[in-house]
Structure 1
Amino acid sequence: MHRIIVEEKKWVSESRFLHALNYCMLLPGPEAQQLATYIGWLMHWTLGGIIAGGLFILPGAFSIMALSIIYALWGHVGIVAALFFGLKAAVLAIVIQAVVRIGKRGLKTIAMRGLAAVSFIAIFFFAVPFPLIILAAALLGYIGAAYGSTAFAAVGHGDAHEDGESLLGNETPPHARPSAKQAIKISSMWLALWLVPVVGILLAAGTENVFAQIAVFFSKMAVVTFGGAYAVLAYVAQQAVETYHWLTPPEMLDGLGMAETTPGPLIMVLQFVGFMAAFRSPGDMPPLLAGALGGLLATWVTFVPCFLWIFLGAPYIETVRQNKALAGALAAITAAVVGVILNLAIWFAIHTIFHKTFAVEGYGFSFDAPVISSVDFWGLALSIAAAVAIFRFRVGMLQTLAGACLTGVGLFFVGVI
């Protein structure tokens, strides 16, 4: 997005792009889609934001829906299961790569490395709620930067510079200026689009219905999940698996693998989660129809709030460019997210490479430890091979995923799995 929007098309300047990115990373939900919406809104007001944000997710939504149907119908057929066996192994390596990549960019000071470690310990060993960790980190970074501390100086953005003239220029366009009347109008419309369906489902079906659970859970996620796609997935995966029992950890990895290989944002895996939840509890509906509606409902309540945050907040954010306190909050969130993603990687590994786990508890902490004798040696070997390909030989993500899938199918044909 940066290469095309700033360098090639020159739609906006470097500093304006980074300012928008800073704001989107401070929002709950998927920042990539929000950034696309922000740029579209900045250039062409509400219609531009809807077109940019909507078209950013539609290809992925169609792709994930098709793959979810295939998975639900044939996911346990030998050759398809073998393909997803390879996919899971590669995704483990990709999540670890995300930890390393974000860690190198974000953990520039001792304070940031300490915050990442505390975040990991808090969520993995003490089950501290993910939103609380991110909000505490943002508050710490904001206060520290506001009082002049450099412990949480913004990372990866440096001193933004103008790279020549941009199409938009440096002036704030008329529609990007704050207006109380416009804010009330926007809030009313987008809150209605988001919450009226949720309330309607709750009133019609009750709180125990799977569609009501999907609507409420993903609406809550849209409000409290900060820190980008991998951080969101850490929260969603553990809630969907351990609280709602919509799917298993290996199935969550399968969905993540689908999202990695399809166009659009990684967060589209949430549509797969909603699909599987409704597919398994269809009520009086045909399972595939229920699954499709569940997936679309999850997508709707995940992304509609994103448009609300941008259309409502962006005019005010345009007035506070170069705010050091906000930059400090962003940097602290980035540090905390490294610990959260590390938790995701270890949680996935424990529940997929090992067939059995046991609970370890005491002195306020609790976590699932693997039963070493239950290790899946082929899954472990394939995960290690994928990690070697990514880290040692710099093989691309799609090539690694394809190679792992083909290896899984090959192991199936020789009778190993």
Structure 2
Amino acid sequence: MEKNSKYSLLELTLYFLKLGTTGFGGPVALVGYMHKDLVENRKWISEEEYKQGLALAQLAPGPLAAQLGIYIGFVHYSFLGATLAGFAFILPSFIMVLLLGIVYKLYGGLSWIQAVFYGVGAAVVGIIALSSYKLTLKSIGSFRLESFKTKWLLWLFFILAVAVTYVTEKEQLLLFIIAGLFYMMIIAPPKWWNFKTTNSLILLQFALWDYEGNKLLKLAVFFAKAGAFVFGSGLAIVPFLHSGVVLENNWLTEQQFLDSVAVAMITPGPVVITVGFIGFLVDGFLGALTASLATFLPCYLFTIILAPYFKKIADNKSVKAFVEGITAVVIGALVGSVIIIAKRSIIDIPTIVIAAITVLLLVYYKNIKEPYIIITAGILGFIIKLL
């Protein structure tokens, strides 16, 4: 234990194990719990250390809450602390989605389960639609003329991503990289930038994207790429997963994919843990383990590699511009995916009503939690199908 540390490594690990078991409410709520518990109440982490971790988590790709937890583990206990904090935080929700995956595989074909998820799917569409709207406001700006004038390039990236995702029904990874690099070159070009760098990055992307191998290796490569481009929110991974899992590889049906997102929302911890459920449906326990580890690996590596150089990174205008450009396209892809999913899932009047009520509840009753809405929607779906 380091001299400056006010807590043991075991205490830190147990805290994140508890948070991963009881922490509902999404990334914003989870980072709020960490501040209240570790900064205000226990005073394990200083305000400055917390702010640095939060800023790094926002700059680098990866699920926000998991990254902040890894950074907090890194502060006083370096790589071991980062590893144990991240592992403890993710483990409870991984176990939960694994158990739910077993139940789903056993009973998913039964009519009553299908009736429950009929309502759940509509609620999930409402939740991710509202989340994508909020992410757009937060990351790009309001839908006002002033915002379009000052951030017209980001809006152009956003609209282009919505259109491309909707038309092609695929996540365009190359578009993300080009947008980030182009925005960086326009806003704050770095000194080391040249044409050869662009070609190298694009060739690297193609090399990764076209990789083929056995099933587990293919899962690992796919989910690692998805994890490396989760900017803005855990839900930002949805367009990657939807096109890759449903459309390109045909691993899951549209309904199974929606069910996977719903399962992640009714369990504590990071929403990104939906990858564990998807991996289990694709290839059992090893599929779940591979998908989860591959998704969180980029987040872990970015955090431990960048943490020692945080101040230089945080003040680097080129890095900020690159992240802003990618984020605009990622959120646009999320909106495009929401439209595609809604078109196939909102199929009748009951599903329209459930989705609309979900949005209204989240807008006007801000204290209501998504798990309660999803469970209620499941009960409604069951009743509707029964009648």
TM-score (normalizing by structure 2): 0.75
Higher percent of residues as helix: 2
1:34-72 per-position Cα deviation (integer Å, ceiling 9, x unaligned)? 221112102321121112111110111010001001111
1:167-207 per-position Cα deviation (integer Å, ceiling 9, x unaligned)? xxxxxxxxxxxxxxxxxxxxxxxxxxxxxxxxxxxxxxx96
Q: 1:382 aligns with which of 331, 354, 367?
A: 354
Q: Distance in 2 between matches of 1:317 and 1:44?
A: 16
* SS of equivalent residue, structure 1 residue 142: helix
Counterpart check, 1:262 vs 2:301: no
Return the offset for 1:123: 2.4
User: Pairwise mapping of residues 17-96 of structure 1 onto structure 2 (< 5 A)?
Assistant: 17-96=50-129
* 2:156 matched residue in structure 1: 114
Q: What is the letter of the counterpart of residue 120 of structure 1?
A: V
Q: 1:216 aligns with which of 204, 208, 221?
A: 221
Q: Distance in 2 between matches of 1:271 and 1:224?
A: 17
Counterpart check, 1:103 vs 2:145: no
Q: 2:299 aligns with which of 299, 306, 315?
A: 306
Contact kept, 8 Å, 1:29 with 1:232, in 2: the verdict is: no
Contact kept, 8 Å, 1:259 with 1:266, in 2: the verdict is: yes
* SS of equivalent residue, structure 1 residue 246: coil
1:200-257 per-position Cα deviation (integer Å, ceiling 9, x unaligned)? xxxxxx9664323223322333445555422222111111111111101111110100
Q: Distance in 1 between matches of 2:369 and 2:262?
A: 14
Q: Distance in 2 between matches of 1:259 and 1:236?
A: 13
Contact kept, 8 Å, 1:30 with 1:267, in 2: the verdict is: yes
1:283-340 per-position Cα deviation (integer Å, ceiling 9, x unaligned)? xxxxxxxx12211121122223432222223212344443333333333333333312
Aligned CA distance change for structure 1 residues 402 and 248 (closer, same or farther; 3 Å): same
Contact kept, 8 Å, 2:227 with 2:295, in 1: the verdict is: yes
* SS of equivalent residue, structure 1 residue 245: coil
Contact kept, 8 Å, 2:171 with 2:243, in 1: the verdict is: no
Q: Distance in 2 between matches of 1:139 and 1:9?
A: 42
* 1:323 matched residue in structure 2: 316
Contact kept, 8 Å, 2:122 with 2:354, in 1: the verdict is: yes
Contact kept, 8 Å, 1:60 with 1:262, in 2: the verdict is: yes
Contact kept, 8 Å, 1:131 with 1:225, in 2: the verdict is: no
* 2:3 matched residue in structure 1: none
* SS of equivalent residue, structure 1 residue 76: coil
* 1:344 matched residue in structure 2: 337
Return the offset for 1:99: 1.3
TM-align CA RMSD? 2.6
Counterpart check, 1:132 vs 2:104: no
Unaligned runs of at least 5 residues, structure 2: 1-30, 142-146, 191-210
1:111-161 per-position Cα deviation (integer Å, ceiling 9, x unaligned)? 23333222212322256743223323322443344279xxxxxxxxxxxxx
* 1:163 matched residue in structure 2: none
Q: Distance in 2 between matches of 1:222 and 1:339?
A: 17
Q: Distance in 1 between matches of 2:59 and 2:219?
A: 24
Q: 1:411 aligns with which of 348, 360, 384?
A: 384
Aligned CA distance change for structure 1 residues 219 and 328 (closer, same or farther; 3 Å): closer
Q: Distance in 2 between matches of 1:258 and 1:24?
A: 25
Return the offset for 1:17: 3.5
Contact kept, 8 Å, 1:229 with 1:267, in 2: the verdict is: yes
Contact kept, 8 Å, 2:169 with 2:340, in 1: the verdict is: no
Aligned CA distance change for structure 1 residues 320 and 412 (closer, same or farther; 3 Å): closer
Aligned CA distance change for structure 1 residues 28 and 407 (closer, same or farther; 3 Å): same
* SS of equivalent residue, structure 1 residue 383: helix
Q: Distance in 1 between matches of 2:168 and 2:216?
A: 30
Unaligned runs of at least 5 residues, structure 1: 149-205, 279-290, 354-374
* 2:277 matched residue in structure 1: 272
Q: What is the letter of the counterpart of residue 262 of structure 1?
A: T
Aligned CA distance change for structure 1 residues 16 and 130 (closer, same or farther; 3 Å): farther
Q: Distance in 2 between matches of 1:125 and 1:20?
A: 38
Q: Distance in 2 between matches of 1:229 and 1:271?
A: 14
* SS of equivalent residue, structure 2 residue 351: helix
Q: Distance in 1 between matches of 2:232 and 2:137?
A: 16
Contact kept, 8 Å, 2:165 with 2:337, in 1: the verdict is: no
User: Pairwise mapping of residues 165-180 of structure 1 onto structure 2 (< 5 A)?
Assistant: none
Contact kept, 8 Å, 1:141 with 1:325, in 2: the verdict is: no
Greater alpha carbon shift after TM alignment, 84-93 vs 22-31: 22-31
Q: Distance in 1 between matches of 2:48 and 2:174?
A: 30
**Highest CA radius of gyration, 1 or 2?**
1
